[in-house]
Amino acid sequence: MGKRIRVDKLLSHMGFGTRSEIKKAVKQGKVTVDGKTVKDSGLIVDPGHNEIAYEGSPVVYRDVVYFMMNKPPGVISATEDGRERTVIDLLEPEDRLLEPFPVGRLDKDTVGLLLLTNDGQLAHELLSPRKHVPKTYQARVRGDVGDDDKQRFQEGVALDDGYVTMPAELQVLERQNQDGDVYSTIRLTIHEGKFHQVKRMFEAVDKKVVYLKRVSMGPLGLDETLPEGTYRELTEEELDSLRMHRHSGS
């Protein structure tokens, strides 16, 4: 690993207390490095090589975090906001310590896959317009979505500001009649991330999105066992798929 860090900073990063509380704990002999009691809270350690323990329990250091959240409706994809609840407010206090942020935005009423991390490089690559990272959504749309819409989406549609979208793959999963209206359940994969893009694409073909859920972003798919409003760390396999995606340049 080769990352050198003060022992008090490492322990405060990991949620063991403030620097002053950790200084006190060191004085009380609660912290050991490689089995020896630490006398100096400013001791420089390498968490990749040194074994650090607090009150006898090993401390596993991490400086990057990756969380998959199933975003619920009613919260905004931001790190802080004066008025609204944010996705960061849904994290446990210890999971906020390393200051993760949402990778991209889902509208307040949109649900589904949201990646939170403090890995700025990965976030940049997933969001870079040049990368055209595919994002797949499932939606319920008021209107009879058919072959004409598939064709138009495949060719690219002009949004309300004149921007013409890249080709997108539209699939109709089912249609239902309800109160005299036709509703279509669809899956849509887009390769860019314009503001309110999915909703605006359907408005361009005279239809209205009434429910929107993101189910994948690049190689990362939503864990459907995650209830809305909950999150978990990415698995090694999921992380590996993101890294491979990053290095493939696709």
CA angle 208, 209, 212 (to 5 degrees): 175
Count up the domains in the chain and report the number.
3
Model confidence, pTM: 0.80
Are 114 and 159 within one domain?
no
How far separated are the first and last CA of the chain, in Å rounded? 28
In a shared domain, residues 211 and 139: yes
- pLDDT single digits (tens) 151-173: 999 999 999 999 999 999 999 99
- Residue 206 is part of which domain span? 135-217
- Residue 235: phi and psi, rounded to 5, are -75, 165
CA dihedral 13, 15, 16, 18 (to 10 degrees): 70
Q: Give the 3-state secondary structure of residue 210.
A: strand
Q: Which residues are catalytic?
A: 107
Please indicate, yes or no, whether residues 39 and 15 belong to a single structural domain of this protein: yes
Helix residue ranges per DSSP H, the chain: 7-13, 19-27, 93-96, 120-127, 147-155, 197-204, 236-248
CATH number at residue 30: 3.10.290.10
pLDDT per position as a tens digit, 19-47 = 889 999 999 999 999 999 999 999 999 98
The answer on 162 and 97 residing in a single domain is no
What are phi and psi for residue 149, nearest 5 degrees?
A: -65, -40
